[in-house]
Amino acid sequence: MIFIHAGEGWMFYGNHYYLNIRSNATWHNAKLACENIGAHLVTIETEEENTWLTETFVPVWDHAECSSWWHCCSHWIGANDIEQEGRFVWTENNNNVTSYSNWYPGEPDDNSGQHCVDLCRHGFWEDASCNKITSYICEMD
């Protein structure tokens, strides 16, 4: 697919605009920040979209920039199981159940009440504490 820069940091891919926010936030604050600009936390619908997002926005770990590769090289996405454990839904699209997923082996594991999902530098997803502080990706039609 072709993507173009859409201005002010937004990038166009497929039929959507994406904005990488390198500011750290909890999942709930990231969700609210996206909504405040007329967007939502990213909904990932295909392997191709997941790969593009990872290659475009999630940095490769650089020890000079970050001593903790797991926390510095991940981004919040809109998937969560806040309402019902084990039933991951998207914040957008009327909370539809995730039809595509790319979980890291052993994930989701709900370790200590992990209910929010982030996209990691290797393209896999993990469930994490919603209070984790990390970057995020907003999406807009």
**pLDDT tens across 60-113, in order?**
655 555 555 454 568 999 999 999 999 999 987 656 777 899 999 989 988 888
141: pLDDT strictly greater than 90: no
Worst-scoring range by mean pLDDT, 6-15, 42-51, 63-72?
Answer: 63-72
Query: Which CATH number does the domain housing residue 80 bear?
Result: 3.10.100.10
Is 65 inside any structural domain?
yes
Rounded mean pLDDT, 19-35: 94
Sequence-ordered alpha helix ranges (H) in the chain: 27-36, 47-57, 69-72
Is 3 inside any structural domain?
no
pTM of the model: 0.86
Residue type, 119: L
Helix (H) or strand (E) holding 29, with range, is: helix 27-36
Rounded mean pLDDT, 20-46: 94
In the three-class reduction of DSSP (H, G, I as helix; E, B as strand; rest coil), residue 116 is classed as strand
Residue 7, pLDDT score:
55
Is 43 inside any structural domain?
yes
